[in-house]
Amino acid sequence: EDTGDDDNYEFGKGDFTEHACRYCGVSNPACVVRCNVPSCRKWFCNSRGNTSGSHIVNHLVRAKHKEVCLHKDSPLGETILECYNCGCRNVFLLGFISAKTESVVVLLCREPCLSVNALKDMNWDLSQWCPLIDDRCFLQWLVKIPSEQEQLRARQISAQQINKVEELWKTNPDASFEDLEKPGVDDEPQSVALKYEDAYQYQNVFAPLIKLEADYDKMMKESQSKDNLTIRWDIGLNKKRVAYFVFPKEDNELRLVPGDELRLRYSGDAAHPSWQSVGHVIKLTAQEEVALELRASQGVPVDVNHGFSVDFVWKSTSFDRMQGAMKTFAVDETSVSGYIYHHLLGHEVEVQMVRNALPRRFGAPGLPELNASQVFAVKSVLQRPISLIQGPPGTGKTVTSAALVYHMAKQGQGQVLVCAPSNVAVDQLAEKISATGLKVVRLCAKSREAVSSPVEHLTLHYQVRHLDTSDKSELHKLQQLKDEQGELSSSDEKKYKALKRATEREISQSADVICCTCVGAGDPRLANFRFRQVLIDESTQATEPECLIPLVLGAKQVVLVGDHCQLGPVIMCKKAARAGLAQSLFERLVLLGVKPIRLQVQYRMHPCLSEFPSNSFYEGTLQNGVTVNERQSTGIDFPWPVPNRPMFFYVQMGQEEISASGTSYLNRTEAANVEKIVTTFLKSGVVPSQIGVITPYEGQRAYIVNYMSRNGALRQQLYKEIEVASVDSFQGREKDYIILSCVRSNEHQGIGFLNDPRRLNVALTRARYGIVILGNPKVLSKQPLWNGLLTHYKEHECLVEGPLNNLKQSMVQFQKPKKIYN
Amino acid sequence: EDEVHVRQKVAEVDPLEEADFDQELKAVVQESMEQRRQELRGRPTLNMMIPMNVFEGSAKDHHAKGIGGESGDEALDEETGVNKEVQVKVLVKRGNKQQTKQMYIPSDSSLVQSTKQKEAAELQE
Ligand SMILES: [Zn+2]
Ligand SMILES: [Zn+2]
Ligand SMILES: [Zn+2]
């Protein structure tokens, strides 16, 4: 079975070189020696770090080992140090003597050779014997001390840690420092910190958290087998077999995405043998149908439609790449510049400016004119090695990023790498950057090559297939043959792969900009690429190790774009989330004192809708780039309580219920009223694609979808086309009209998901023309932020109740908000 | 090119740790000496054969060749113009074969100082 190239890739290419100091990682051959005790044979350097003796001397003393060997690339070559006279190898006894008249020196042991009288009669001067180990260090001219830079990039190890690891080596010679700090199975993992001594400590903290998340993800996905599925068979344009089926989604968190790998099984019957094949999800239809492109084209039981089972095939690729990036960050000095290295770890670094000529204009061809705050952002970022751009909702961060990338690419520092955690964001950015005239390559995961993309013409696999030069005809011929026959002879397959790889490299190398997801930056096809300039969009939605993947390809200038006032990365494992894995690198850098450059003009929301978010989340700095007139819904007859103020809070007193699965909530009254509002919108001339229904609970989401399709007053199809989704999946997107169903309505319990101010911010900032919020003010007002929101609506006479065609101001009493203790 | 200035606390070695380590190191040296004395009751033999060519060629080498190339065998301190390092030959045995390797030693090391004094003394004679 062809598993694709990905699996042959060795992760963590930045492995320790064999001769790296086992304490600190320094690997300069002139600075290290090997302990020559056969059971040990570890390498150590001649730097002291924070301890009183050099690492090699520390090891020899504590392990009571006494022989060493120099590195083959050191000035003396591979040499076991020994007495020139008697061959004694105990380094604690050795020292150099020189000849009386010549510049010749030899090693001589002090016991007994130094006291041999006959030597004195020869040409040697014994009076000046100088010990090999001097001042708790090897003689520096023989084994060099690593430079200050080298030492700063090394693991900072204390005497206590040395003692501990030496103790561990007595029973387990292969133990590493990670083993020292490994928490027990039931221990809470170590929490993330603000600053780290070195990249090893960083790795010690994050590696276990990524492992926890990976384990949880695996467990959850692999438990998702579904039986008794009904299949609809089809054939794709590429002649591959495609299976369509409905993957029943329960209230759990699993959401299939294009590119996921599934195994489809049929247990067999009288007429069919048992069968199975894996495939990739290439599409999810609006009807929640999954399209699975199968790898096997032969033996598929296409005359059967019922009784299939499907399992999730879990892949560790993304987690492996995060672990690999952390390792590279630690052991490979060229992974990022010294400045970036120390900055990311929170060390105090003297401010550095990037010396580059600034362009005369900061906009870019093919893009809209930049506003003042966008120009300021571009200008500042171009001059700094690390910058943060905060883009509140609708402030044009994609355009700003694209303009920035344009200018970076024009600086002649090599190719620019542009990433984001999600494919959607990468596609958007790739499209905008391409509009400036730059040559863009969009690198997709192999598993997503069949997934349709709005920027298909920019993807590497498309460009490989459509490269129009005569010398590529051989590749095209083979490709055609492969498409027609489904497979190639093994020699042709070899030729095909080599040609394809060479073409891929050629196309990638000629691009100005490479765009891929953060995880995609760890693709083996980029293994030999170096990128000095890296921009990461949506960086506040990525975990730190995820962000690190694009950075360790040689970054010297880093731009993180995002908004830490909107939702962060989704962490499934509670333990890992509690330990801080959900905090993005952007956020930590903010806490470290890096001031984000904020884009200040929003072009999305009706000015009425931006007022509360601006005051509550952005200190009132958000300005409106759209006027009331530009956001007037002309011709739409909707009963807004205050004309020209397209918003209201619709008071709901219906009870919340626990959903059938027992893990989520729903609220029937709210669902019924959502349908009424949707219907009113549709009747007034709004089309389904303009409407978004947002609710924080999967139970309510499923209930609303179901309710509308059964009870909707208009054609069923209209309701099916309306997107009903969680707050989280609406992040980064917009709709003309938003209906928000809050669900929670109880006297005693909390309001759960709604408590997160960042989630509220996202929910309130998706609408361009109008918003309707359904909720129970009595319950919500206990929370200070919601209390503020309710007060805001009330003050503007937009807190209403009653039937939709006769809305009246509500007199409902709010509760006193609980104080927040911070 | 990649010059960084990290303001870090100066690595301070704990004086207690330093004293402890010093003691341990001395103990290892002491123990090694005693062990040697016990191992080698008899007189050690003399086995300091030095290939003659090392001495013969060295006078010429001393002035002509040098790893550094044109500047000769003595690296000059850029600021003071004073010799910082001198070139020596380190003689090692590989099994029964002798080998020499050229190396630079700081000119202020005691090993070099003594040779220089001797050379000076002999020149005066
Ligand atoms: Zn050892
Ligand atoms: Zn070391
Ligand atoms: Zn000896």
* Same domain flag for A686 and A765: yes
> Is A316 within a domain?
no
Sign of CA dihedral A430, A434, A438, A443: positive
Residue A88 alpha carbon to ligand 3 centre in Å: 5
Residue B116 shares a structural domain with residue B78: yes
Boundary (domain end) residue, out of A598, A616, A632: A598
Residue B113 domain flag: yes
Do both A546 and A642 map to the same domain?
Answer: no
pLDDT single digits (tens) A663-700: 788 899 999 999 999 999 999 999 999 999 999 888 89
Q: Do both B84 and B32 map to the same domain?
A: no
Query: Is residue B58's pLDDT more than 60?
Result: no
- Rounded distance between C-alpha atoms, residue B112 and residue B125, angstroms: 20
Return the structure tokens found at A607: 């000015």
- Residue with structure tokens 């550094």? B68
The pLDDT of residue B109 is 72
The reported pLDDT for the residue numbered A287 is 67
The answer to whether residues A798 and A758 belong to one domain is yes
Q: Is the Cβ of B59 closer than 8 Å to some Cβ of chain A?
A: yes
Domain assignment present for B5: no
Using alpha carbons, list the distances in angstroms from residue A570 to A444, A584, B103. 22, 11, 58
Write the CB contacts of A816 (distance below 8 Å, at least 6 apart in sequence). A782
A737 in the same domain as A656: yes
Q: Are residues B111 and B57 in the same domain?
A: yes
Residues A198 and A149 in one domain: no
Whether A112 is covered by a domain: the verdict is: no
- CA-atom Rg of chain A in angstroms: 32
Chain A contact for B104, CB < 8 A? yes
Residues B60 and B119 grouped into a single domain: yes
pLDDT at A22 over 50: yes
Provide mean pLDDT across the span A179-190. 72
Is the confidence at residue B77, as pLDDT, over 60?
no
Answer whether residue B30 shows pLDDT above 70: yes
In a domain? residue B7: no
How far, in Å, from the CA of A142 to the mean position of ligand 3? Answer: 19
- Binning pLDDT at 50, 70 and 90, where does residue B66 land? very low
Q: Percent of chain A having pLDDT more than 70?
A: 94
Q: Label residue A1 by pLDDT band (50, 70, 90).
A: very low
A77–B101 CB contact, under 8 Å:
yes
Q: Cα A526 vs. chain centroid, distance in angstroms?
A: 17
**How sure is the predictor about B61, in pLDDT bands with cuts at 50, 70 and 90?**
very low
Residue B121 reports pLDDT greater than 70? no
For A58, name the nearest residue in chain B, comparing CA atoms only. B21
pLDDT value at position A661? 73
Long-range contacts of residues A616-622, Cβ cutoff 8 Å, at least 24 apart: A616/A757, A616/A761, A616/A785, A616/A788, A616/A789, A617/A392, A617/A565, A617/A757, A617/A761, A618/A392, A618/A565, A622/A392, A622/A395
- Whether A579 is in a domain gets the answer yes
Regarding whether B62 and B116 lie in a shared domain, the answer is yes
Clarify whether residues A588 and A457 are in a common domain.
no
Residue in B with minimal Cα distance to A97: B111
Q: Give the β-pairing of A104-109 and B6-7.
A: unpaired
pLDDT digits (tens, 9 = 90+) for A265-288: 998 888 899 999 999 998 887 667
Residue B17 contacts A where some CB pair is shorter than 8 Å: yes
* pLDDT for the residue A625: 94
Residue A685 lies inside a defined structural domain of this protein: yes
- Mark yes or no for CB contact A111/B28 under 8 Å: no
| In-domain check, residue B100 | yes
Predicted confidence (pLDDT) per residue in A737-766, tens digit:
999 999 887 766 667 677 889 999 999 999
Averaged pLDDT, A115-132: 79
Residues B79 and B96 grouped into a single domain = yes
User: What is the DSSP-derived secondary structure letter of residue A258?
Assistant: T
Q: Which residues of B touch A532 (CB under 8 A)?
A: none
Residue A813: count other Cβ atoms within 10 Å of its Cβ: 8
Q: Does residue A585 surpass a pLDDT of 90?
A: yes
In a domain, A319, yes or no: no
User: How confident is the model at residue A385, as a pLDDT?
Assistant: 95
Question: Which residue bears the tokens 């290419």?
Answer: A13
Query: What CATH number is associated with residue A615?
Result: 3.40.50.300
Q: Average pLDDT of A386-414?
A: 95
Clarify whether residues A629 and A572 are in a common domain.
no
Give the pLDDT confidence of A529-541 residue by residue, as tens digits: 999 999 999 999 9
User: Which of A747 and A70 is assigned the larger pLDDT?
Assistant: A70
Q: Is the pLDDT of residue B59 over 80?
A: no
The residue that leads in pLDDT, A485 or A639, is A639
pLDDT at A478: 85
3-class secondary structure, B52: helix
Q: Determine, yes or no, domain membership for B8.
A: no
**In chain B, what residues touch A107 (CB-CB under 8 Å)?**
92
Mean pLDDT on A10-23? 70
- Say how many domains are in chain A: 5
Confidence (pLDDT) at B60: 40
Q: Tell me the chain A residues in contact with residue B105 when contact means C-beta distances shorter than 8 Å.
A: 105, 141
Interface test with B, best of A55, A83, A89, A103 (most B CBs within 10 A): A103
* Domain count along chain B: 2
Select the residue from B2, B7, B98, B113 to test the A interface by mutation, using most A Cβ atoms within 10 A.
B2
Question: Do residues A660 and A731 both lie within one domain?
Answer: yes
- Report how far residue B119's alpha carbon sits from residue B125's, in angstroms, rounded to the nearest whole number: 10
Is the confidence at residue B106, as pLDDT, over 50?
yes
Work out the mean pLDDT of chain A and round it to a whole number. 89
**pLDDT value at position A98?**
84
Model confidence at B5: pLDDT above 90? no
Give A439-448 pLDDT, tens digit per residue: 999 999 988 8
Tell me the average pLDDT across A295-316.
89
Same domain for A666 and A551: no
Q: Are B39 and B57 in the same domain?
A: no
Q: Are residues B95 and B65 in the same domain?
A: yes
Choose the closest CB to A130 out of B50, B59, B111: B111
Cα–Cα distance for residue pair A33/A143, rounded to 1 Å: 8
CATH number at residue A290: 2.40.30.230
Q: Do the beta carbons of residue A133 and residue A57 sit within 8 Å?
A: yes
Q: Is residue A102 part of a domain?
A: no
Q: Are residues A49 and A143 in the same domain?
A: yes
Q: Is residue A522 part of a domain?
A: no
* Residue with more model confidence, A791 or A49: A791
Q: Do A250 and A337 belong together in one domain?
A: no
Listed in sequence order, the residues at least 6 apart from A169 whose beta carbon sits closer than 8 Å to its beta carbon are: A40, A63, A175
Task: Tell me whether residue B115 is in a domain.
Answer: yes
What mean pLDDT comes out for the span A332-337? Answer: 93
Query: Which amino acid belongs to residue A256?
Result: L
Asked if B68 and B19 sit in the same domain, the reply is no
* Res A820 pLDDT > 60: no
- Ligand whose nearest atom lies closest to the CA of B39: 3
pLDDT of A163 above 70 = yes
pLDDT value at residue A657? 86
Residues B18 and B64 reside in one and the same domain:
no
DSSP 3-state of A280: strand
Is B61 found in the same domain as B38?
no
Res A87 pLDDT > 90: no
Range of the domain at A692: 602-809
What confidence tier does B67 reach under pLDDT thresholds 50, 70, 90? very low
The reply to whether A819 falls in a domain is: no
- Mean pLDDT confidence for A96-113: 84
- Looking at the fold, whether A169 and A197 belong to one and the same domain comes out as no
Q: Which domain holds residue B23?
A: 13-44
